[in-house]
Amino acid sequence: MPEPLADVLAEVRTLLLAPGLTRAVAAGRRRGKTPSVTRAELRPVTLKGGPHLQIVTDDGSRPFTRNAAPGAEAESAVDALLAEPFGNWHVETTTATVQVRITKKGDAQVHRGAAPASAPDAGHDRAKQWLLDPGDPLFEVVGGTAAKRRQVDAFLRALAATLPAELPSPLRVVDLGCGNAYLTFAAYRYLSARGVRVQVVGVDVREDQRIRNTAVAEALGCSADVTFVAGTISDASLPLTPDLVLALHACDTATDEALARAVQWSARWVLAAPCCHHDIAAQLKGVTAPTPFGELTRHAIMRERFADVLTDTLRASLLRLHGYRVEVVEFIDSAHTPRNLLLRARRTDAPPTPAQLSEYESLTAQWSVTPALAKLLQTTTVHAAVCT
């Protein structure tokens, strides 16, 4: 049965400002009215200054994150959202779920139920759900959209699966092609929380990114341990030799340059999420596919997709030939990005076997391709070592 909208919104207001709130979402629009933002999400977070109400709004082009202090600031922010003509509210607390739909007549249809099974109870430590708490100051500085938090968490889980329980201190990390560096900072904050000193250097070709990222490091209070260098992946001069090398969505052969530097440094761990693949795809255009695989390259779209797979297969193979144990895993769900493969490598110094070398040579010979990584690593030295 419909209920008076004013009464229901008063109930929602109480839930949004109460300590038991876990999550709330406002979306849609009422008949004949349009809210100033397309969506709003609210959740409690814990910052250095104490508990806050985090509000993420989206105007259709970009998200905006605000952390409101308890009391007048949070009340004002909530009242402003309740005044917007949203068509739906969904509120979850530790004890209940309230779903509100505004009807065409302006009344409220309300469904009240128990808290979802996945909702944390009052004593639950929210940090256990995320490797980096969504309320971490990092998200206040770089922006904390739900998609970004999910990507950060997926990356950190892959990182955690790569590293051993006991880490060296200091742990030296290099992020090659770091861009806006939010994953660089996420790695630093997560690894520092594991109780070791972490030194991080981010490399990007753009000087403006170096300046911007340095300012972020200062804002986060970690500029002594997180520094940035402007330069190419191949040639940038670094103040340290890394234990861990990151290369996340470096474009085309930039990923190969990052992997080559990691091998040359004898890095203990490598995480690389390849981006676009053009090098092998270009080579396949002029090649007659070996029998019976002509259909794989007959159509351009199939050739491009096969080139992606072949490129990363050869990268993994080359890393194995250079003493790494390699896993190829999903970085994040493909719904968020189609470039979701992650090469995860640990240095074992195990010599390549004749079978591994034979498989690599057969694959490149049959498809008449020469991987960029092979050129960078000059793998003939590895071949000679195996053959003798």
Q: Token pair for residue 315?
A: 């990268």
Higher pLDDT, 246 or 249: 246
pLDDT tens string 279-319: 999 999 878 889 898 888 888 889 889 999 999 999 999 99
H/E element, 116: none
Residue 148: pLDDT band (50, 70, 90) is confident
Q: Token pair for residue 334?
A: 């493909």
Total residue length of the chain: 388
- How many helices (H) and strands (E) in the chain? 13, 14
pLDDT tens string 185-208: 999 999 988 888 999 999 999 999
pLDDT tens string 101-145: 898 889 998 988 876 554 444 344 443 468 887 777 888 787 777
Distance from C-alpha of 135 to C-alpha of 124, rounded to nearest angstrom: 15
Lowest model confidence (mean pLDDT) among 56-65, 80-89, 243-252, 364-373: 56-65
Q: Token pair for residue 300?
A: 């351009």
- Model's pTM, two decimal places? 0.66
Residue 232: pLDDT band (50, 70, 90) is very high
Distance from C-alpha of 333 to C-alpha of 339, rounded to nearest angstrom: 10
Q: Token pair for residue 146?
A: 């739900």
In eight-state DSSP terms, residue 291 is T
Lowest model confidence (mean pLDDT) among 152-161, 221-230, 375-384: 375-384
Distance from C-alpha of 180 to C-alpha of 248, rounded to nearest angstrom: 11
- CA 365 to each of CA 4, 31, 210, 359: distance values in angstroms, whole numbers, following the listed order: 74, 65, 42, 10
